[in-house]
Structure 1
Amino acid sequence: MKTNWIRANKGFLMFVLLFGVFRTAVADWNPIPSASMRPNLLEGDVVFVNRLAYNVKVPLTDIVLQRTGEPARGDIVTFSSPADHTRLIKRIIALPGDTVAMRNEQLFINGRPVDYALLDTVSEPVGKAGQITVQQVRESGNGRSRQIQLLPQIAARRDFAPVTVPADHFMMLGDNRDNSADSRYFGFVPRELLIGKAEGILVSADILHGWRPRLDRFGMALQ
């Protein structure tokens, strides 16, 4: 009986197998469950992840077969947390060999300060804290810039002494600097734990307000 069922459904089973290999080795999608990457990624966004951007891996493992590209500062990446292997999405702030420090929220990379320009001040809900003031800021350095946000009213880790990123490791920070568990808490991320590069938003729904589709975010590229 079981053998007959397998024979009758072998086309479907082959599709499921190939789809599983594709998703674990070639491309994937990643729902955004938290606010750690605001304002660039919102809760309810679903991002496209290119799993071949940096490495070819044995499916379902962290075994790297071939390097296909080099991660760059500013890339948004998915990776397994070195603390508990939870899948996370953050931004690469520093590369192997970089020396990084943070003083009163300002980053210094290889001794050079990163520039900041205030864009806007808005109010948004932040967990149990309720509505708080949020500063949206343009962060520029090393030839790249992105929008981040700061939450002055929230207790956060805004300072750390200079550290040097080890070989084949990366420093990750969330764009929502004061509301992100990142390398300030779990340390550097080994290259083999990188899953892929987040390249764009596939679809988006406002999960905080009845799952309304955010059509303006469909197909949006990431900076």
Structure 2
Amino acid sequence: MKKNSFRLLKENKSLILFISLMLVFRSAVADWNDVPTGSMKPTIVEGDRILINKMAYDLRLPFSQYSLIKLADPLRNDIVIFESKAADKRLVKRVIGVPGDMVSMHKNQLSVNQETADYKVIARNSNFILSEEQIAGASHLIRTQVVPGQSKKYPLESFPPVTIPKGFYLVMGDNRDNSADSRVIGLVPRHEIIGRSKTVVLSLNYDNYLIPRSERFLKSI
């Protein structure tokens, strides 16, 4: 029995080495993440598989959350992936506030360090509005039920000023009225953030028999 096991290992050592290296690579260097919800619409949609750069901020011990070397810190507007203890699952959100920032929101209109965001309506229909949010030198699209600055008294549309302490980040989904983010789970500790994403690897259309969406292949986000 032992001889058979040893021979099996010997005959498949190249495959075993390849699998081991692939697991280490996915654990510490890069991985992909399925996105099952629409909390980051319109930037990321249900069915997207996004690439995670796990070395964007830290060099970590493989198969752990332990940081061997800090390479950088998340920046405002980064799309980050984090293992949320508060939500008890992995989440994908956008960094809105970094340590030292004072952030508030009134009727879905953001303010960072007393600078109020500008909004330009890009498209609208009976269900939602797409707007370009511009603040602190960065811009991206967000999705809301009404134009930011106008209220329908949605529960997550406003919060008072909060100063982000050292080691924490305020994150939000781009689908502002439908995202369980820092307004629900609180500020995100730095050690929970495992990487950054800038690319959709591929996307499967959940509403059309999982047919790949060709227009989202390797799409920058």
> Does structure 1 residue 142 correspond to structure 2 residue 136?
yes
Shift of 1:150: 0.4
- CA displacement 1:128-148 (0-9 Å, x = unmatched): xxxxx1110110000000001
* Alpha-carbon distance in 1 for matches of 2:67, 2:55: 11
* Alpha-carbon distance in 2 for matches of 1:84, 1:107: 24
What 5-or-longer segments of structure 1 have no aligned partner? 124-132
Which residue of structure 2 aligns with residue 118 of structure 1? 121
**In the alignment, which of 53, 57, 62 is matched to residue 54 of structure 1?**
57
Shift of 1:178: 0.6
Aligned amino acid, residue 125 of structure 2: V
Structure 1 residue ranges, 4+ long, deviating more than 6 angstroms after superposition: none
Shift of 1:155: 4.2
> Does structure 1 residue 29 correspond to structure 2 residue 32?
yes
**Which secondary structure does the structure 2 equivalent of 1:171 belong to?**
strand
Aligned amino acid, residue 207 of structure 2: L
Which residue of structure 2 aligns with residue 194 of structure 1? 193
Aligned amino acid, residue 31 of structure 1: D
**Which secondary structure does the structure 2 equivalent of 1:179 belong to?**
coil
* Alpha-carbon distance in 1 for matches of 2:92, 2:63: 18
Shift of 1:68: 1.1
> Does structure 1 residue 16 correspond to structure 2 residue 10?
no
- CA displacement 1:61-93 (0-9 Å, x = unmatched): 221111112211111111111314411111000
What is the TM-score normalised by the length of structure 2?
0.92
- CA displacement 1:13-67 (0-9 Å, x = unmatched): 1111110000010011111110000001111111111110111111222211111
Tell me, yes or no, if the aligned pair for 2:87 and 2:185 is still in contact at 8 Å. Answer: no
What is the TM-score normalised by the length of structure 1?
0.91
**Which secondary structure does the structure 1 equivalent of 2:220 belong to?**
coil
* Alpha-carbon distance in 2 for matches of 1:147, 1:174: 11
Tell me, yes or no, if the aligned pair for 1:150 and 1:176 is still in contact at 8 Å. Answer: yes
Which residue of structure 2 aligns with residue 207 of structure 1? 206
* Alpha-carbon distance in 2 for matches of 1:24, 1:140: 35
